[in-house]
Amino acid sequence: MAVAFYDLNSDAGLKNLDDYLLTRSYITGYQASKDDVTVYAALSKVPSSKYVNASRWFNHIDALLRISGVSAEGSGVTVEGCASIPEAAIATPPTADSRAAAADDDDDDVDLFGEETEEEKKAAEERAAAIKASAKKKESGKSSVLLDVKPWDDETDMKKLEESVRGVQMEGLLWGASKLVPVGYGIKKMQIMLTIVDDLVSVDDLIEEHLTAEPVNEYVQSCDIVAFNKI
């Protein structure tokens, strides 16, 4: 059965992840897989050090992605967001009993408040349409990419280089962690992670039309794809 996590950028979601990783090195199986990349990409930042297991796991996956990428398929994982998660929630999908109980609660609500007004029906239809659109968007494939970004020379301001790269913003693009790597003769290159929605962003177009074009090319000489993994 595929593992599911909820609202990973909340304290409750991070605690669940931390508890889950207490006895595990990876999200599923005994090697890093695309399941780890999926959860990694869902986190907006490095987990706080108080979440020892989650922080340890995140840094390990981050290092793997920087060095060699992750290619194992994994067993399947789902990451969902929600407004709040009970402290007792665990990283597994809802049971059939809980879904049935929720359905019973919904029926009770209808009985209590009677027939819906036209405004309520319209609001319900709008919510349903929004949920459907959100679900459709979630079905879009995502990829995790590691880029090598090379400056012109050793006098290039690497801080401004990073700012100019991160300044490229578009729908379906999310910048991640970065670091400077010595190349030689005092020159450093920047390695940076990014997550893209495949239907919205092409990495080749991103490099050609934005990262090596004006005004970014004032600092960036070239960009190369180091690792590319489907999420």
- Tens digit of pLDDT for each residue in 28-76? 988 899 999 999 988 988 999 999 999 999 999 988 887 767 878 888 8
Mean pLDDT of the chain: 80
171-224 pLDDT, tens digit per residue, is 999 999 999 999 888 899 999 999 999 999 999 999 999 999 999 999 999 999
Q: Is residue 2 part of a domain?
A: yes
Which residue did the predictor score with more confidence, 206 or 113?
206
Question: Residues 56, 146: one domain?
Answer: no
Q: Is residue 54 part of a domain?
A: yes
Longest dimension (CA), the chain: 76
Cβ pair 17, 8 in contact under 8 A: yes
Residues of the chain with pLDDT > 90, as a percent, come to 47
Q: Is residue 6 part of a domain?
A: yes
Q: Is residue 195 part of a domain?
A: yes
Q: Is residue 135 part of a domain?
A: no
Cβ pair 2, 34 in contact under 8 A: no
**pLDDT (0 to 100) of residue 108:** 46
Q: Which domain, by its residues, includes 40?
A: 1-113
Question: Residues 179, 107: one domain?
Answer: no
Asked whether the whole model's pTM tops 0.85, one would answer: no
Which residue did the predictor score with more confidence, 85 or 30?
30
Question: Residues 74, 148: one domain?
Answer: no
Q: Is residue 10 part of a domain?
A: yes
Q: The tokens 């067993």 sit on which residue? A: 75
Question: Residues 96, 182: one domain?
Answer: no
pLDDT value at 132 more than 60: no
CATH of the domain at 210: 3.30.70.60
Which residue did the predictor score with more confidence, 155 or 132?
155
Give the H/E segment covering residue 197.
strand 187-197
Domain end among 113, 131, 151: 113
Torsion angle (degrees, nearest 10) of CA 158, 159, 161, 166: 140
Q: Is residue 158 part of a domain?
A: yes
pLDDT value at 111 more than 50: no
Q: Could you give the number of structural domains in the chain?
A: 2
